[in-house]
Amino acid sequence: MLQVSVLREHTAAVLAGLAKRHYATAEADVQAILGLDQRRKELQTAHDQAQAEANELARQIGGLMKAGNKAEAETLKARTAELKQHTKAHAEELADVEKELQQALYKLPNVPHSSVPAGRSAEDNEVVREVGAKPELPAGAKPHWELIEQYDIIDFALGNKITGAGFPVYKGQGARLQRALINFFLDEAREAGYTEIQPPILVNEASGYGTGQLPDKEGQMYHATADDLYLIPTAEVPITNLYRDEIIAPAQLPILNTGYTPCFRREAGSWGAHVRGLNRLHQFDKVEIVQITQPENSYAALEGMVAHIEGLLQKLELPYRVLRLCGGDMGFTSALTYDLEVWSAAQQRWLEVSSASNFETYQANRLKLRTRTEGGKTQLLHTLNGSALALPRIVAALLENNQTPEGIRLPAALHSYCGFSRIG
């Protein structure tokens, strides 16, 4: 959530940043927020003035009553009652205005970093670098949805039977590969200095608002309405919310956490090869890395997170590329996002497997996540997160890129985790 002070003091810069997102109603929305903020100030001033006058009159009434000047005291009592009505009305309107202001701020996206390209769609994202040679597959190579059927390692029909489309059942070597990848990613994160967290996979509404999933992605989250809880779309939500309403001592920074969770998203469901098989699911496994840093260190931290994710892909022997997302393709809460994509040799296209983002103070302002400066004042921190890694498309690329007549060869980094070096 953007700070009202930033909107007020840097209006032109905010509007220029939102223009990168092609946010059509930016000027109207920002002016509406500033108008609400001004009305809030006016009401607060009127409330405080009326309260101060009532307090002063109460003091005078006491003196008049002691002096036996009852008639004048009664006149002041009438004025005091009138002032109480004013303060009550001001307080009620102030509460309404503050609620409206908060909702308006929730609906305004983050301002992109100056380095974000000003494109409209994924086609306008900037390729930062491409690493690794694309494998040449033999004639008759199969996409992963045929390979998993051939080797009987994932069953979409069973998942559809017990739950619905987009909820696959992993079995045999497929289940063991899932567990191996999760453990590999967690071990790599721990060695990089991240503390492992095992969070709940259901969160309350306050947590959804804290990291920006609500109200922006309300329709994409599974909602357990009886208890008003949400299934998480990513471990970012519970892990970052560990620090909601906290003031973190500078000595504790930076905070580095990692966690594995299943993730749930209602967005799957369109047709075509681009969403076939493991390309898009309602439930999938992911290891997340989360950082909380001082503002001056956050962009160095983001580059370090990207380097960590690249290291995983290199150990998995997957060709990949790093993209800097343009304004029109960025997430609602992000100031700068890098996507990492692996090459799918059988599908002949890039598959996104990770996003690493710096949210600057956007989430921290919602979370009231702060530290103290040397002068004792509180300061909002910066939050970051990245997928390290999401499993479905990693598995898809591993299966497709490493298929041989003798089975599917697995990278050496996974052999000890899997207990086997080949599927099939």
Question: Residue 100 annotated as binding?
Answer: no
Question: Residue 317 annotated as binding?
Answer: no
Point out the catalytic residue in the list 21, 188, 207, 280: 280
Question: Residue 321 annotated as binding?
Answer: no
Question: Residue 354 annotated as binding?
Answer: yes
- Is 280 known to be catalytic? yes
C-alpha to C-alpha distance for 242 and 387, rounded to whole angstroms: 18
Q: Are 182 and 285 in contact (CB under 8 A)?
A: yes
User: Is beta strand 154-155 parallel, antiparallel or unpaired with respect to 169-170?
Assistant: antiparallel
Point out the catalytic residue in the list 8, 321, 352, 422: 352
Point out the catalytic residue in the list 298, 334, 355, 387: 355
C-alpha to C-alpha distance for 397 and 346, rounded to whole angstroms: 8
Angle of helix 11-20 versus helix 26-66 axis, rounded to 10: 140
Element (H, E) at 177: helix 173-191
Question: Residue 416 annotated as binding?
Answer: no
Question: Residue 353 annotated as binding?
Answer: yes
Question: Residue 337 annotated as binding?
Answer: no
Point out the catalytic residue in the list 344, 387, 393, 400: 393
- Is 72 known to be catalytic? no
- Is 355 known to be catalytic? yes
Question: Residue 234 annotated as binding?
Answer: yes
Helix intervals (H) in 192-218:
205-211
User: Is beta strand 370-372 parallel, antiparallel or unpaired with respect to 247-248?
Assistant: parallel
Question: Residue 258 annotated as binding?
Answer: no
C-alpha to C-alpha distance for 186 and 38, rounded to whole angstroms: 48
- Is 352 known to be catalytic? yes
Phi-psi region of 210 (alpha: psi -120 to 50; beta: other; left: phi over 0): alpha
User: Is beta strand 229-231 parallel, antiparallel or unpaired with respect to 223-224?
Assistant: antiparallel
Q: Assess whether the previous peptide bond of 199 is cis (omega < 30° from 0).
A: no
Question: Residue 265 annotated as binding?
Answer: yes
Number of H helices, E strands in the chain: 13, 19
Neighbouring C-beta atoms of residue 140, cutoff 10 Å: 7
Point out the catalytic residue in the list 21, 188, 207, 265: 265
Query: What is the Rg, in whole angstroms, of the alpha carbon atoms belonging to the chain?
Result: 27
User: Is beta strand 202-204 parallel, antiparallel or unpaired with respect to 195-196?
Assistant: unpaired
- Is 334 known to be catalytic? no
Nearest of 288, 406, 272 to residue 347 by alpha carbon = 272
Show binding-site residues.
234, 265-267, 288, 352-355, 385
Show binding-site residues for L-serine.
234, 265, 288, 385
Catalytic center residues:
265, 280, 352, 355, 393
Show binding-site residues for ATP.
265-267, 352-355
